[in-house]
Amino acid sequence: MENRNNCSRQPEVLWAQRYGKVYLTISLPDAKNVSVEPDSAGVFAFSAMGALGEPFSFTLQLFDCIVPKDCKTKFGLRNILCSIQKEQKSWWPRLLKSDQKPPPYIKVDWNKWCDEDDEESSDADFDDNFAYTGEDDESSDDGGMLYLPDLEKARGR
């Protein structure tokens, strides 16, 4: 399920998962009036205004149910990061309930991705070790992304 309103566009959405969570990175520099609405049935709605006042929005029917009260959102200058708590801890075979090809604005976030076989107990605290705090350093050019050396540090390697 996605919003195909002709008046709004969809920002690029990168996703990754852990056994109990899904991570979405919404690429929308200088977003204003951001609204993130997770629903227990697995509906995730997003809307915001871009830097030039253009509307952006999408609605995703996630693969399974989520716990809205445990979902966290961090706002940066370039990205909006969402940590979504799964209701049932398990590996989802895909992000969306539909088994059709996902929309072109949704992509895998390989910087945060963890395979089922690779997840270690130290990854249970991934949110606590997450390098991005929501406060962008203006001299930084990484847009709040977590790079491989940071991922290895988070895993304790």
pLDDT interval class at 113 (50, 70, 90): confident
For residue 131, the model assigns a pLDDT of 40
Average pLDDT, integer, range 36-53: 96
CA gyration radius for the chain?
A: 15
Q: Is 26 exposed, middle or buried (0-12, 13-18, 19+ CB in 10 A)?
A: buried
Average pLDDT over all residues of the chain: 80
Residue 53 has pLDDT above 70, yes or no: yes
Structure tokens at 42: 């697995």
Find all residues with CB under 8 Å of 23, minimum gap 6, and list them: 15, 16, 17, 81, 82, 83, 84, 109, 112
Average pLDDT (23-34) is 95
Q: What angle do CA 34, 93, 109 make, to 5 degrees?
A: 45
Q: What is the model's pLDDT at position 56?
A: 97
Q: Which helix (H) or strand (E) holds 149?
A: helix 148-154
Residues 6+ apart with CB under 8 A from 98: 1, 61
**Does residue 95 surpass a pLDDT of 50?**
yes
13-107 in CATH: which number?
A: 2.60.40.790
pLDDT grade for 6, boundaries at 50, 70 and 90: low
pLDDT of 90 higher than 60: yes
